[in-house]
Structure 1
Amino acid sequence: MGSRDRWRDHPSSTAPVIGITTYLEPARMGVWDVRAAVLPEVYLDSVIAAGGIAVLLPPQPVSDEIVDRVLDSLDGLVLSGGADIDPGLYGQEPHEATAPPRDDRDAWERALITRAIARRMPFLGICRGAQMLNVALGGTLHQHLPEIVGSTKYQPAPAQFGPVDVEVTENSRLAEVLGQTASNLNVLCYHHQGIDRVADGLTVTAVSDDGVIEAVELGAVPFGIAVQWHPEQDAADRRLFEGLVRAAR
């Protein structure tokens, strides 16, 4: 079934508009080899299948006026996964395993999440998005988890997601969204970094068996959840996206 078939019956007249941050990467398109704003289709599928309208938010120049104008047109926000965040934003020198910074994306997403929180807009952070939320609010990151946990299970190999068991905190917003199967989940991870010092205002709501933080939430907004795993990779489980779309309505 193609994308048009999957989206044909989408209730666009009543659906909330969900902005998704994108990468800015080298891309080949036919004879062209250029930098392009790109995002894996699974993010779009996840938002649309949950009942939202997906709008892409590529990195661009940042000002309060630009960010507010963008957020004025949205009902909810997804901070997507991607490259490592500049360690200078949380007061550290780069580890040898940390990728070169993407200053444009860091500045754009930091501004988006800060202003979204100020207006209490529902949001979902995914992998890098969880880390950006923590950094934007003053927290720090572990730059290379294998040195901390002695394992590469969170990023087993290039382009290979690692299945990880996580324990979800009872009575958290995350547990409420996930429902009866919340307490113990097997999720798909692809991250070599993770949250270290948790920013003020955030609550840890899921951890792995070796103590790595896998989810945080912000109680100051109606729906403010960020997970280290990749829920967009599981087409059979749209609960986090459905929770975001419900809140965005």
Structure 2
Amino acid sequence: MSKPVIGIQMQKLPEQFYYRLSYKYTEAIYAAGGIPVMLPLIAEQDYVDHIWPLLDGLILSGCQTDLDPKRYGEAPHAKLGPVNETRDRFDWMLLERAHAEHVPVLGICRGFQTLNVYRGGTLIQDLPSQQPSEIKHSIEEPPEAFAHEVRLAPQTVLNHAAVEKTAQVNSLHHQAVKKLGKGLAPVAWAEDGVIEAFQSEDLAQHHVVGVQWHPERLWQADDFSLSIFKNFIAAVVAHKQG
């Protein structure tokens, strides 16, 4: 049986003249059983129409730009980071196709936030200034280090057990979910109440999962992180088989 093809967008800062993507993403996808395909940020319908039929699943990667707050009806906060309208527009085009065809989606960090806003949610634009906490959500290097604990909801895609559990995660974000998007259920929280993961309420019909941390940085030494990718690939295979 052929392996599922997973599309993942590359990144680009406004002043850069090249695309880039951490190899940690592609290695994690391949280790979990998928074939990664990197997507340049070509926010044109013709490009999406040509590339989309080749993909079986979609991962929205993290990046160093913030989502433009106009996407969720807010003015920019003073601490808002750089934005990339092309990335935002490209993400929306991909998500429109994924939702129309129930193609499985995994959102990571900025991709998690994008999924939330796409479904009508909003963001805290800067956690340190708008919602101060003893939890360090934006740690310094190395990104492979655990930063804090999250509580996992029982009987969810992240925790199949009937009792609540916890997991250690890394943390590289200054924004967070404020209002949860339509059809999303929270499945993990930091100790300060920040939503760290969600899944679609209709998971069996459309597998949509988002995590605020970076499991692609941890999977080689952390079974929990690897399971996030394996569960996603399993959902892609199931969808592909109909």
TM-score normalised to structure 1 length: 0.84
Tell me, yes or no, if structure 1 residue 154 matches structure 2 residue 142: no
CA separation in 2, counterparts of 1:71 and 1:182?
38
1:124 maps to amino acid: L
Q: Measure how far apart 1:173 and its partner are.
A: 2.2
Aligned match for 1:216, one of 198, 201, 206 = 198
2:58 maps to amino acid: L
Tell me, yes or no, if structure 1 residue 97 matches structure 2 residue 79: yes
Count of matched residue pairs: 228
Superimposed CA distance per residue, residues 94-148 of structure 1 (whole angstroms, 9 cap, x where no aligned partner) = 1121112100001001221232022111111000011000111111000111130
1:171 maps to amino acid: Q
SS in structure 2 opposite 1:23? coil
Range with bigger deviation, 182-191 or 84-93: 182-191
Q: Indicate if the aligned counterparts of 2:124 and 2:175 stay in contact, CA closer than 8 A.
A: yes
Aligned match for 1:73, one of 54, 65, 72 = 54
Q: 2:148 matched to which residue of 1?
A: 164
SS in structure 1 opposite 2:112? helix
The residue correspondences of 1:151-230 to structure 2 (distance < 5 A) are 151=134, 153-157=136-140, 160=143, 163-176=147-160, 183-220=165-202, 221-230=205-214
Q: Measure how far apart 1:48 and its partner are.
A: 0.6
From the two aligned structures, give the one with the greater strand fraction: 1
Identity among equivalent positions (%) equals 36
Range with bigger deviation, 119-128 or 221-230: 221-230
Q: Measure how far apart 1:217 and its partner are.
A: 0.9
Aligned match for 1:244, one of 212, 232, 241 = 232
CA separation in 2, counterparts of 1:106 and 1:57?
14
Tell me, yes or no, if structure 1 residue 125 matches structure 2 residue 107: yes
SS in structure 2 opposite 1:84? coil
CA separation in 1, counterparts of 2:75 and 2:135?
22
Aligned-pair Cα RMSD in Å: 2.2
Q: Measure how far apart 1:71 and its partner are.
A: 2.2
1:23 maps to amino acid: Q
CA separation in 2, counterparts of 1:50 and 1:180?
25
Q: Measure how far apart 1:16 and its partner are.
A: 0.6
CA separation in 2, counterparts of 1:68 and 1:128?
24
Unaligned runs of 5+ in 1: 1-12, 28-33
Superimposed CA distance per residue, residues 65-93 of structure 1 (whole angstroms, 9 cap, x where no aligned partner) = 54343221111110000121001111111
1:90/1:56 CA distance change after superposition, 3 Å: same
Aligned match for 2:70, one of 88, 95, 99 = 88
CA separation in 2, counterparts of 1:102 and 1:224?
23
1:246/1:202 CA distance change after superposition, 3 Å: same
SS in structure 2 opposite 1:173? coil
Aligned match for 2:2, one of 14, 32, 36 = 14
1:26/1:158 CA distance change after superposition, 3 Å: farther
Q: Indicate if the aligned counterparts of 1:25 and 1:38 stay in contact, CA closer than 8 A.
A: no
Q: Indicate if the aligned counterparts of 2:5 and 2:56 stay in contact, CA closer than 8 A.
A: yes
SS in structure 1 opposite 2:18? strand
SS in structure 2 opposite 1:56? strand
Aligned match for 1:57, one of 30, 39, 42 = 39
Q: 1:30 matched to which residue of 2?
A: none
Aligned match for 2:88, one of 103, 106, 109 = 106
